[in-house]
Structure 1
Amino acid sequence: MKKLLLILLAFAASYSVNAQIETPQPSPKAKFEQKVGLTDVTIEYSRPGVKGRKIFGDLESFGTIWRTGANENTKITFSDDVMVAGQTLKAGSYALFTKLISATEWEFMFYTDTSNWGTPQNWDDSKVAASAKVAVEAIPFVVETLTIDINNISNNGANLELIWDSSYAVLPFTVPTEKTVLAGINKIMNGPGEADYYAAAAYYLSEGKDMKKATEWIDKAVDMTKDKPRFWYLRRQALIHAANGDKAGAIKAAKQSLTYAKEAGNDGYVKMNTASLKEWGAM
């Protein structure tokens, strides 16, 4: 009984040491996602409040680089390449920093290093993937909590907006919707590509489906790449022809695959083709 009591006391002491009181954060974290055309845009940031202070020109001095939020870097992620002020911003994640030039002009900077807590101690201009100067408007009321949003959304672009205290700034950006859609339309209208035929044939072979149809598809894939033969396509062609009862066609494809596999130095395909040719009495 005494031993049990000691165990319970030890557990209670451990719990009291490890227990933590959870309280609201002064600058709560926020995350939102927005689809612009076909591009996914995600913004993650902490949202400080005005709390009776003068923000720009006082708490955040003009001529300095502001973290554009609080705590960890404000991070913006694009699923596709986008255009910002005539500059290409590659798909990926960026820390958003703001150079507070004056009360009427800022510069948004997309920084490739997103791991900082606040502004980097050693700023590196080479890590600025894109930047854009934006006009800052004074608004006739106070927005208590920092708000970063995406508005004025169209198929081909949107506005990145920042509003806090009595200041409002907006940066337009464009997304490659038209390019993506036209590429998809052209692909469909022009018919399947060699990779589509190869994938379909490989699936039919693996699932034991219609080998006649699989043969048709793999032959098209191989024919479409005859100027640059691919030993793995030819290997699949050999297996499909064999499964379709065409031994001569299988041997022909396997021999070609073997030749190109040797040229590429791929020992795995050399072994597989050699084994098949021996099995089919061709070696």
Structure 2
Amino acid sequence: MPSHKQRKADKVGTLIIIGGHEDREGKREILKEVAGRVGKGKLVVTTVASEEPEESFEDYRKIFQDLGLKGVTHLNVNQRADADSEENGKLLQDARGLFFTGGDQLRITSLIGETHMETHIHNLFESGGVICGTSAGASVMCETMMIESEGGESHRIGRLRMAPGLGLIRDVVIDQHFAERGRMGRLLGAVAQNPRVLGIGLDEDTAIVVEELCYFTVLGEGAVYVVDGSCITHSNIAEEAEDHILSLYDVKLHVLSEGDTFDLKERRPLNAHQQDAGTNLENSATIPEIENPQETPATDG
């Protein structure tokens, strides 16, 4: 079977990336979105990240069946051999969606990285499927993921460990339980290590729905924080000792709430584009009126 790294997708599906502790008893807005995207197809729930896989699966099985899904299947991986098994591969071949539960993101990559299962996951995504993940299952979506760092304080240069993720979405690094665990410092630290990537922090019960790897829309009760380091003018991350506090100048921050949409290519909220256009219209409206507007030279609007 060819590696997903050797293939170029003609079409990609949807990513639903959740900051953890999504509402499971009330409106269940995020899980309803997952169910709606899967529709009449099969949803595979993988508990590879969890230390209590059976309990975790049963919780989600009941919820998704209550939300109308008929086919909810468990994919558990306890060792790397499970990720290469033909039986588990068949579970994904006819699936419409895959849902990663929370737990430890390093368990996900260490158990399924460079296996047939990882290839099946990329095949599902590249054929238009829906890939979802909450908490650890959110962090693993990236090409590079955070696996360890203290939150709730200013970031110290040497206290962030990162590792390869599944690479479903590139040029971003994702953190979860964001405001609740005070993780702004470590997200800044991740962006400082490579300002090419966007840092995305997701509050609990909050998700981004990523379409075509081009833009995402915010869903849920909390906020999404986007850290853009492309215009950083100074960083001390390569100059100071590991226990030194990180310094960054000219970092751009966007804070988004439900319904906001962000353009991943332009690195701008889509409604900001609209506001920019509106500003141009307002500026043009300040030109004094003349008696015969047909004789007015054309402008750029």
Alignment TM-score, normalising by the size of structure 1: 0.23
Alignment TM-score, normalising by the size of structure 2: 0.22
Larger radius of gyration: 1
More strand by share: 1
Larger RCO of the pair (alpha carbons < 8 Å, separation 6+): 2
More helix by share: 1
